[in-house]
Structure formats: structure tokens, C-alpha cells
Amino acid sequence: MLKQLSPTGNGWDGTFNGRVLPSDDYWFSVEFVEPADGSIQEFRANFTLKR
């Protein structure tokens, strides 16, 4: 895990343990509670970090 984000936080600055990560493709997952039925859902996707 590189970073755990909070909905009220500042986001991610592209670093890990104080070191700048290289331009690359990164995958992430988001776990959330489905409001309709209370079930736990997971969303997975990727992004490209460009410097």
C-alpha cells in the first residue's frame, strides 16, 4: 500500500516514505459501503503518474 486516502484529506503528493515515485502506471482499489443495501463493494482501476 502506497497511501490510504481520506475523503476529507489533501490527496496524494506522489511520494512513498518521503521519496518521489517514478512516472509509471499504478493500480488502486477503493472499498466502500453500498448505501442501498449496506454491502461492502470494491472498485479497482489504474492511473498514470507523469512527472
In a domain, 45, yes or no: yes
- Domain-embedded: residue 13: no
Domain range spanning residue 34?
Answer: 23-49
Higher pLDDT, 47 or 2: 47
- What's the average model confidence in pLDDT over 34-43? 97
CB 46 within 8 A of CB 25: yes
Residue 15 maps to a domain: no
Answer yes or no: is 16 within a domain. no
Give a yes or no: residue 40 inside a domain. Answer: yes
Across residues 14-37, what is the average pLDDT? 95
Mean pLDDT across 25-36 = 95
List CB contacts of 39: < 8 A, sequence separation 6 or more: 33
Please, what is the average pLDDT of the chain?
94
Give dist(CA 48, CA 27) in Å, integer.
9
Split into its structural domains, the chain has a count of 1
| pLDDT at 25 (0 to 100) | 96
| Cβ-contact 46, 28 below 8 angstroms | yes
